Each structure stands twice: as structure tokens, then as C-alpha cells.
Structure 1
């Protein structure tokens, strides 16, 4: 299956870069494998260009567009996606939903604010990258995945409960800020009556 197929069908997760703080090209490069749609907030445009990444849409205010009009020619066929209130995240997500994308990797968004995304989870699958971790939501109450043995963060509203089952042993965690758990190698089953997010370390510091 070619990368062209993915782009045409919007199957490959888009890449929405809000901040590059804590990230280098090496950490983002694997997400570019199938030529996803790349959206970049105005402050990060020159950094992303310096990495050699081809940008599809620059989310930008009026002043930035006027002062950087030459980018339309230099980075053709890049386009501007206008934003009036500097809410680059919301503008980017609305665009992806409108263009029938099914998923997005959001780079440089605070995991503390992921609950604000939940009204869009019915329309988009999201993975939030907040260095040095990435967070993905469990939307349907239950989730099972194989892990190699690592530390995970369970991120849910304060006081929520998440049941974790591995090797036929059950533990129920009452969530407080930064609830970290250790899981061994093998399948781990998670269950809760609320939407919650699982954070995995993806970088070594």
C-alpha cells in the first residue's frame, strides 16, 4: 500500500505541531513515515522547516500571514489556515474533522489539558505527545495492550477509579495527579467507567 493511498484516504494520522519544546527531529521522524498531513502553529514553522519537514498547513494569525507571505511560494504547496484567537489547537482539530481525517498525533500539548479534548474524541483518534511521554485515551471503558514492562501514568479526573489487571491479578487505583504504576511484560487490561488516558515514556532523559 503506497503512501499516496494513505494521503488520499486520510487514513494516516495527521501531525499537528503546536510546540517543539523537548522534541528533536529524531523523535518526530517516525510519525512522518507515510507522508501524513502536517499542520504547524506559526511559532514553530521555522523550526519545522529547518528539520526538512514539508508542511501542508500553517496555522497563523493575520499578522504572521502578512509578514511571512513568501512562505507560500518558498514552501509551495503550503497554505495558511487562518486563526483569529490564537487557539491553534482548536483550529487545527476543526480542520482535520472537516476534512474527514480519522486520527492525529498532537505534538507539544500539555497532558494536564487533555480532558479539554474529549468532546472531539468521537470524531478523531488522538495521541498527545508531551515530552518525554505520549498519552492516548481509553474511550470505551476498557483497553488491553501488551507492554514490555515499564512505568505508565494513569491520567483521569481526580478521584476516578481505574482497574488494572495483569496475570490474573487485579488492582484498583484511585487517581490523583501523576498516578504512576509499574507493569510487567505481557498483556495488561485497563477498565474504568470514565474516559481516561494512559501515558507511556517515549524518550530517555
Structure 2
């Protein structure tokens, strides 16, 4: 992209950061390159403030004044991630990267409203419907719920819900239901 590329508001995925330790700092830096809307909580705000990274929103259980004046604060009502997703959806965001320690079951209820990618401890999780197709290097681990799979191409079964790519190339997963399915891959 040229340096003249114009980024429209809400065009790039927002970032919800529930745990900065769940993702390598270098990878977090890559996600920050496009200046996404950043949403933090009581556990992650100090990480951003110490690194002098602009935060847009904090969902908190306490009242606090932050050195960055533009930060909007909201009380946590349903839970940090659901509250943050509600905030983004109300403001017409189309996609979000969520950095957290574990997948939250509540995410499945938001899949139809916003494109969700979860980044957690060396894995990237996406929610897809019908089929998943992606080019992968040989030996890459892929995680998918076996009870939702109709067909698998390019993957060898390793452990429950864990597969490995057989060779460089495209892999295909087709699902036996119309609901969203959470697929994980190594990053």
C-alpha cells in the first residue's frame, strides 16, 4: 500500500485486548500499524499507557482518570468482551481482533453481527460457516470440532479436534451444519 492510502473510519478491524500476554508484542505491533480502535479493560490499560499507545475505550469496574484525555470509559455490565462487542456493533464496526487468554462462549452469539478473529497464545481462531478454505504450509496444525465436519481435504487427523496439513497447498473443511464453526490455526 502506498503512503497515500486513505483509511476510512471503522474500515480496519478494531482491537479488544483482554490480555496483552496472550499475544507476542511484535504481533500486537503489527495489528496496531493501521491505528485501529483500541478497547482495553482494567487489566490491560496500563500496558498501553506505559507503551504510550493511544487507547480509545476502557471498560472498567472502577472510576479512574487516565493521562490520555480522549479515552472514553464505560462500566462493565455483561462482561468485558460482550460489552466491547456491543460498543463496536452499535458504532457499525465490521470486524474485530480479540486478544485474550481463552475463547469466550459468548462470541458465538456475535458472529452474525461482526467478523471476529480471536488471537490467543500462538493460535488464531476464526468463526466461519459452511466451509473453510486456506493455503497452508505443510506441517501446520489446524483445530476444528470433529463433530461439525462433513469433509476434510489436505489434513491428517492427529488428536481429538486437531489436524495437521499434509503438504503445502490449500486445505478445505466443509461443515455439516449451518451454524458458525470456530476454526483455529497456528500463527
Same fold (TM over 0.5): yes
- The aligned residue for residue 147 of structure 1 is 136
Gaps in structure 2 of 5+ consecutive residues: none
State the Cα distance separating 1:3 from its structure 2 match.
Answer: 6.8
**Counterpart-to-counterpart distance in 2, 1:155 and 1:190:** 9
> Which residue is equivalent to 1:159?
147
Q: CA RMSD in A?
A: 2.5
**Residues 9-30 of structure 1: CA distance to partner in whole angstroms, max 9, x if unpaired?**
x111000000122434212011
Q: 1:138 aligns with which of 103, 128, 131?
A: 128
Report how many aligned residue pairs link the two structures: 183
TM-aligned CA distance change 1:25 to 1:53, over 3 Å: farther
Match of 1:27 in 2: 27
Give the alignment's TM-score, normalised by structure 1. 0.78
**Helix, strand or coil: the match of 1:26?**
helix
1:51-200 aligned at under 5 Å gives the runs 51-61=51-61, 64-65=62-63, 68-69=64-65, 71=66, 74-84=67-77, 87-111=79-103, 113=104, 115-139=105-129, 141-156=130-145, 159-166=147-154, 176=160, 178-194=161-177, 195-200=180-185
Structure 2 Cα separation of the partners of residues 147 and 153 of structure 1: 10
Structure 1 runs of 4+ with >6 Å offset: none
Structure 1 residue runs without a partner (length 5+): none
Residue 109 of structure 1: CA displacement?
A: 4.1
User: CA–CA distance in 2 between the matches of 1:201 and 1:24?
Assistant: 13
Change (3 A) 1:150 1:41: farther
> Conserved in 1, the CA contact under 8 Å of 2:16 and 2:39?
yes
Q: 1:126 Cα deviation (Å)?
A: 0.6
Q: 1:97 touches 1:124 (CA, 8 Å); kept in 2?
A: yes
- Structure 2 contact 143–184 (Cα < 8 Å) conserved: yes
SS at match of 1:134: strand
